[in-house]
């Protein structure tokens, strides 16, 4: 799929939290772009910085830490934007779906009221028009008897239906960019597929960019156009989904690929990347993946590799990248 000029450009994004006066670098020099209609997948283990990236883009992380770098949105830098101006963009132009709908939805308010709150904040619709739009959105995301269900509370919906409500709220104001933070967590495989298909269809229909956070490389393969692999707060490899998954160059990406069980005989031990991700207060001096990496060389423990272009459209942060033959043999 061909995409237009980027609508979002993230350049050198850094997010640092503090604990007891000690800095904890959660993001380090993260850069990527997203175009209209493009779906970018952010993938990596828990703690790699995926969710912090989304919260840093939309301005939520700066409430708790220091955010630097640039997040360019239609000629404006969201990092430098005052809170009042940023609130005009949050929900209206850039929307977000959070991981767990039951904690994101207010259990004391009906879903109709929560949908109308978003419309009241971000549109000029009248009260009757807001109700019509709320019904339209619930119907759009596949909730039966939408008009009747406006009066229901979140606990009266199943997990999949609550996630559909979250999508309806996020898309009610016709945003140009959707940030989806593991929108299918804790859902069964059938409902997961339905939710992902829904997000993709709406992205195409609304010509909307999407940044999708996930642990699942299968989800990336089925839904994303481009992918960025994150480790210890950095992007270590990015490129087209087809290129990265067919020819991974970073040892960490190769490890993630090997961790996906495929055509294994019964009782075969499953592969996992050796070791554990580093703590934010004890990051290695050089490459953060070096202690877990079979391809580590001496320089890896001293120098942090920059994200560099290795082939057209592919960037890798590794001093000793894997060749295609090595990747196939791994």
Summarised one tens digit per residue, pLDDT across range 92-142 is: 999 998 877 667 899 999 999 999 999 998 889 999 999 999 999 999 888
What percentage of the chain exceeds 90 in pLDDT?
Answer: 64
26-30, 102-106, 171-175, 232-236: segment of lowest average pLDDT: 102-106
* 129 & 212 share domain: no
- Residue where one domain finishes, among candidates 143, 158, 173: 173
Inside any domain, residue 51: yes
Pair (136, 24) in one structural domain: no
Same domain, 54 and 152: no
- Binning pLDDT at 50, 70 and 90, where does residue 2 land? low
Contact of 42 with 226, CB cutoff 8 Å: no
Confidence of residue 12 (pLDDT cuts 50, 70, 90): very high
Q: Is the pLDDT of residue 19 over 60?
A: yes
Structural domain of 164? 108-173
My answer on whether 137 and 26 are in the same domain is no
Average model confidence (pLDDT) across the chain: 90
- Categorize the per-residue pLDDT at 70 as very low, low, confident or very high, splitting at 50, 70 and 90: very high
CA distance 57 to 60: 8
What integer pLDDT is reported at residue 3 of this predicted model? 62
- pLDDT band at residue 232, thresholds of 50, 70 and 90? very high
Which range, 19-23, 28-32, 255-259, 270-274, has the best average confidence (pLDDT)?
A: 28-32
My answer on whether 84 and 156 are in the same domain is no
Instruction: Indicate if the pLDDT at residue 250 is higher than 80.
Output: yes
Q: Read off the pLDDT band of 329 (50, 70, 90).
A: very low
The 3 state secondary structure assigned to the chain is CCCCCEEEEEEEEEEEEEECCEEEEEEEEEEEEEECCCEEEEECCCCCCHHHHHHHHHCCHHHCCEEEEEEEECCEECCCCCHHHHHCCECCCEEEECCCHHHHCCCCCCHHHHHHHHHHHHCCCCHHHHHHHHHHHHHHCCCCCHHHHCCCCHHHCCHHHHHHHHHHHHHCCCCCEEEEECCCCCCCHHHHHHHHHHHHHHHHHHCCEEEEEECCHHHHHHHCCEEEEEECCEEEEEEEHHHHHHCCCCHHHHHHHHCCCCCCCCCCCCCCCCCCCCCHHHCCCCCCCHHHCCCCCHHHHCCCCCCEEEECCEEECCCCCCCHHHHHHC
Query: In total, how many domains does the chain have?
Result: 2
What is the predicted pLDDT for the residue at 300?
A: 94
pLDDT of residue 261: 83
- Do 222 and 304 sit in the same domain of this protein? yes
């Amino acid at each position: 799929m061909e995409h237009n000029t980027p609508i979002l450009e993230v350049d050198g994004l850094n997010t640092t939290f503090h604990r007891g006066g000690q800095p904890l670098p959660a993001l380090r020099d993260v850069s990527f772009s997203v175009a209209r209609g493009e779906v970018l997948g952010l993938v990596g283990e828990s703690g790699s910085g995926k969710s912090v990236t989304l919260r840093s883009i939309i301005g939520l992380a700066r409430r708790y830490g220091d955010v630097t770098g640039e997040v360019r949105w239609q000629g404006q830098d969201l990092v430098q934007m005052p809170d009042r101006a940023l609130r005009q963009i949050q929900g209206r132009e850039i929307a977000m779906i959070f991981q767990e709908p039951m904690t994101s939805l207010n259990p004391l308010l009906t879903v109709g009221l929560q949908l109308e709150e978003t419309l009241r904040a971000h549109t000029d619709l009248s009260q009757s028009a807001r109700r019509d739009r709320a019904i339209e959105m619930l119907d759009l995301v596949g909730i039966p008897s939408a008009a009747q269900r406006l009066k229901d509370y979140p606990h009266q919906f199943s997990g999949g239906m609550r996630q559909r409500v979250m999508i309806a709220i996020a898309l009610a104001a016709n945003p140009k960019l959707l940030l989806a933070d593991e929108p299918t967590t804790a859902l069964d495989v059938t409902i997961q597929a339905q939710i992902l298909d829904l997000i993709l269809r709406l992205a195409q229909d609304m010509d909307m960019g999407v940044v999708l956070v996930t642990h699942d490389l299968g989800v990336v393969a089925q839904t994303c156009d481009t992918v960025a692999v994150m480790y210890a707060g950095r992007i270590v490899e990015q490129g087209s989904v087809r290129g990265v998954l067919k020819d991974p160059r970073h040892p960490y990406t190769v490890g993630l690929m090997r961790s996906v069980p495929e055509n294994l005989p019964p009782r075969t031990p499953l592969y996992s990347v050796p070791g554990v991700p580093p703590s934010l207060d004890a990051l290695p001096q050089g490459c953060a993946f070096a202690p877990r990496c079979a391809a580590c060389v001496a320089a890896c423990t001293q120098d942090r590799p920059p994200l560099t272009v290795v082939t057209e459209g592919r960037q890798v942060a590794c001093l000793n990248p894997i060749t295609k033959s090595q990747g196939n043999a791994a």
